[in-house]
Amino acid sequence: MIIGQIWVFKNRRDTMKKILIILAITLFTSSAFAGSCPMLAGQVKSKIEEAKKLHDEGVKAHSSGNHAKSEELLKKALELFKG
């Protein structure tokens, strides 16, 4: 058997079978990866919400004159996006 012979079509029936097999494989593999999108979006959203909370607390600490606490909170917010 020669490599590439899979693409040599003997008749219409073989052509349709091979096209359907290729389409099925393509559709099923792409839908398997699509299931992780909502999960990833949820993880991003929770990190953003937590970072926003830390940001607001850090700005509040800065405004009240507690610069050490402000710096600590803002660095924690930044660390959320590094991991």
Please report whether residue 4 resides in a domain. Answer: no
Residue 58 has pLDDT above 60, yes or no: yes
Please report whether residue 5 resides in a domain. Answer: no
Please report whether residue 3 resides in a domain. Answer: no
Separation in Å, CA 31 to CA 26, 34, 40, 43, 76: 9, 5, 15, 20, 36
**Position 22, amino acid:** I
What is the arithmetic mean of pLDDT over 56-68? 95
Number of domains comprising the chain: 1
Residues spanned by the domain of 39: 11-80
What is the arithmetic mean of pLDDT over 33-39? 74
What is the arithmetic mean of pLDDT over 24-47? 78
